[in-house]
Amino acid sequence: MKRKRVVVLGATGSIGESALKVARDIPDRMEIVGIAANTNAAKLAEQANAVRPEAVCIVDESKLGELRTALKYEPRLLAGETGLIEIARLASAEMVLVAIVGTAGLRPALAAIDAGKDLAVASKEILVMAGEAVTTAAQKQGVHILPVDSEHNAIFQCLDGRASDVRRIVLTASGGPFRNTPLEQFGSITREQALKHPTWNMGPKITIDSATLFNKGLEMIEAHWLFGVEMQRVEVVIHPQSIVHSMVEFADGSVLAQLSHSDMCFPIQYAVTWPERVANSLPPLDFGKVAKLEFFTPRYDDFPALNLARRAGDTGGTLPAVLNAANEVAVSAFLDGRSSFPQIWKTVREVMDRHRAIAHADLDAILAADQWARDEAHRVLAA
């Protein structure tokens, strides 16, 4: 089997770093031909000097000089949002891994599909926002969408192409750091407490989303689009150990689950080597040490994110984009110390209540709804 040539968008982030690690671990199967980041020129240069990809892109054009100076070879240098689109279409690439936090990955993802590349998707926001547009474009172009989010990668492995026999999809959630925190204490939760995830080491935005359970809410909508399963058949169970990454119950009542340590290298590697499995240096599960696997029903009333996401996914159209955008604004306000933890749910609910959803929205309508929701969320937070 030949090496897969991959472009990594969001190389300097948590997923991006794991992707580079996977490439180092299975060099016969994965080659990184392009890397892109937003503003972190120093880290991007360091990665480029080590990996030597053919193309390097920095979105923040003011950092181009710093990047150029720090590079020890002469790759094709790209910058700005146009550069990001260009690197997503890189001729030599077969796959583009979208690991950009937020919705900035949407246009490059569509550009990659248009250029006939397979898409490995970590950025759940783009499937939440524009699941219909992205999956339809991929079908039209005959390219694959490989899920990198660990839950969806698990479901993808369990399904093994048998989507028609599914009774329900069960997404596991660690429950985050406040799984057992009494409701009365939510108002005093600090940024530092929320950034301490019990089982996963991730970027700040997704770590806060894990604490509010919006991460799981976004994943419910993501699963709906990736696997073509209606929202009512996508369920969530709290599993504090984060060893079972998700499960599929089939028509005959059998449940298949995928298990591994909580390390994003597992799903990234499977997305790259699929449909094959390749030996690596990742640690195997020691069941004696795992000892117990627990499952609990989520506290739906105390963590309203799941019901809000179900409502957004059921309504469809522009509402998922509105939920996602309002959440992004609310999370960044919380991270900047401008709002309380429960304010994240309140802001999203308020913005969703004010929105008039457009069904089967095209990309322009989605982007307009996204912008509207951001402005509206700022107004809610300022009130």
Q: Which is closer to ligand NDP, CB of 15 or CB of 137?
A: 15
Q: What stretches of the chain adopt beta strand conformation (E)?
A: 4-9, 30-37, 55-58, 76-79, 95-98, 118-121, 145-147, 166-173, 234-238, 244-250, 255-259
DSSP-based three-state secondary structure for 250: strand
Q: Which is closer to ligand NDP, CB of 58 or CB of 237?
A: 58
Q: Which is closer to ligand NDP, CB of 103 or CB of 318?
A: 103
Measured CA to CA in angstroms, residue 75 lies from 41, 53, 108 at distances of 14, 7, 20
Least distance in angstroms from the C-beta of 9 to ligand NDP: 6
Least distance in angstroms from the C-beta of 124 to ligand NDP: 5
Chain centroid to CA 328: how far? 13
Q: Which is closer to ligand NDP, CB of 40 or CB of 339?
A: 40
Residue type, 368: A
Least distance in angstroms from the C-beta of 165 to ligand NDP: 27
Please check whether residue 105 is in contact with residue 125, taking contact to mean a CB–CB distance below 8 angstroms: yes
Least distance in angstroms from the C-beta of 282 to ligand NDP: 15
Encode burial over 165-174: b for 16+ CB neighbours within 10 A, e otherwise: ebeebbbbbb
CB atoms near residue 282 (< 10 Å)? 14
Residue type, 350: E
Cβ neighbours for 202, distance < 8 A, ≥ 6 positions apart: 14, 210
- Where does this chain bind ligand NDP (CB under 6 A)? 10-16, 37-40, 59, 84, 99-101, 104, 122-125, 149, 200, 202-203, 206, 264
Least distance in angstroms from the C-beta of 345 to ligand NDP: 18
Least distance in angstroms from the C-beta of 253 to ligand NDP: 30
Q: Which is closer to ligand NDP, CB of 97 or CB of 158?
A: 97
